[in-house]
Each structure stands twice: as C-alpha cells, then as structure tokens.
Amino acid sequence: MNLIVLTAPSGAGKTTIARRLMAEVEGLRFSVSATTRDPRPAERHGVDYFFLSPDAFRERLDAGDFLEHEEVYPGRFYGTLRQEVERIARMDDVRAVVLDIDVKGALNVKRLYGDAARTLFIAPPSLTALADRLHARGTETEKQVTTRLERAKMEMATAPEFDAVIVNDDLDAAVAETVAHVREFLESRGMRDEA
C-alpha cells in the first residue's frame, strides 16, 4: 500500500494543487473521508465526504472502522475509513492512495505506515496571505475564519515533522514541486512511471 498524504492549513491552496497533481500523475486516487460537519453547497455524499451524524461516526469509531480520526474543529470529527483506503489500494490502475487530512492525522499515518507513506505539507507564504485567501473564498463565516487561522498557527508549527514542505507562493511552481515529490516517492516504491 502506498499513501500520499497532503496536508495544509485551510486556504493554503491544497485543493487546487491536489486536483492538478491528480491530473498530471497517473494512478493516483483520493480516499473519501467521513465527517460529522454539514455539507457545503455543491458537496455530495460519497464524493466529497461521507457525511455522518455524530452517532453514526461514533458507531464506526467503536467498530474500529477508522485508520485514523481527529476532532479537527471543536465538535467536528473527520476520519479516514480503512475500508475506503483498502478498496482503492486494491484497484488495478492505482499506484497510490491520496489522503487529504489534517496535521495530526497525517503524522499518525506516517507513524503507522513509515516509508509506505509520504507526507507533504502545503504551506501558505504567510499567515497574512492565508487570512486574505480565506476571506476571498467566502465559504466560512468570520467566526469560522478566526478559528481556522488560530488552528493554522498550530499547524504551521508542525511542518518540520513532514517529509516535505511545499510553499504555495507561485501556484505553478508549487504544483511542479508536488508532482516531483510524488514521482520520486512512486519510484522509491518500485512503481513504474506510466505518464
């Protein structure tokens, strides 16, 4: 099993980088996480997340269904489903499973999987730049933006524990750097480059 773990403070541009990474490198597939938060407009169950009630999440937790899970924001749980990761890893055309998870989840996955996991931290150029992006995106309330910025400070402090830190100052450069890391990881895992 090969795992690529992408982590970034909310608003650092991870989603855009991830989308371009998937388009450029063959054989990568996202694992869909479970969460207890409400869907945003246009988010779909089973595509963006498996949206679970707190009770349903707890039941799956008790059943040992999560590879890792975190209370990312107060009262908001997120978790990687073992079944989902294993299902994807078994697919013929898949070379690595991609996880988009928070810093604690990422570092837990690294502890569990070692060399089979490559953890990439996407950093914004600065916290000010991050605040600007979050305001411009407009998908969160002011209070949520403040919470996310507080959390971003903690997240940035963990960056040195990741296998690589990619600063998203120039988007094209950040994508190129991410692609290079992923190709090198796949090669180190004996995966032929089909692209």
The binding site consists of 8-15
As measured in angstroms, the least distance from the Cβ of 33 to ligand 5GP is 3
Which backbone phi and psi does 76 adopt, to 5 degrees? -115, 115
As measured in angstroms, the least distance from the Cβ of 192 to ligand 5GP is 29
Tell me which residues touch ligand 5GP (CB under 6 A). Answer: 10, 33, 37, 68, 70, 72, 78-80, 100-102, 105
Residues annotated in the binding site for ATP, as ranges?
8-15
Q: Which residue has the tokens 């963006």?
A: 48
Q: Closer to ligand 5GP at the Cβ: 102 or 177? A: 102
What DSSP assignment string belongs to 42-103?
Answer: T--BTTTBEE--HHHHHHHHHTT-EEEEEEEETTEEEEEEHHHHHHHHTSTT-SEEEEE--H
As measured in angstroms, the least distance from the Cβ of 61 to ligand 5GP is 12
Q: Closer to ligand 5GP at the Cβ: 68 or 177? A: 68
Q: Closer to ligand 5GP at the Cβ: 164 or 191? A: 164
Rounded to the nearest 10°, the torsion over CA 64, 67, 71, 76 is -80
Q: Six-digit token pair at 120?
A: 């990439």
Q: Closer to ligand 5GP at the Cβ: 111 or 193? A: 111
**CA gap 178, 89 in Å, rounded:** 21
- Nearest residue to ligand 5GP, using CB? 105
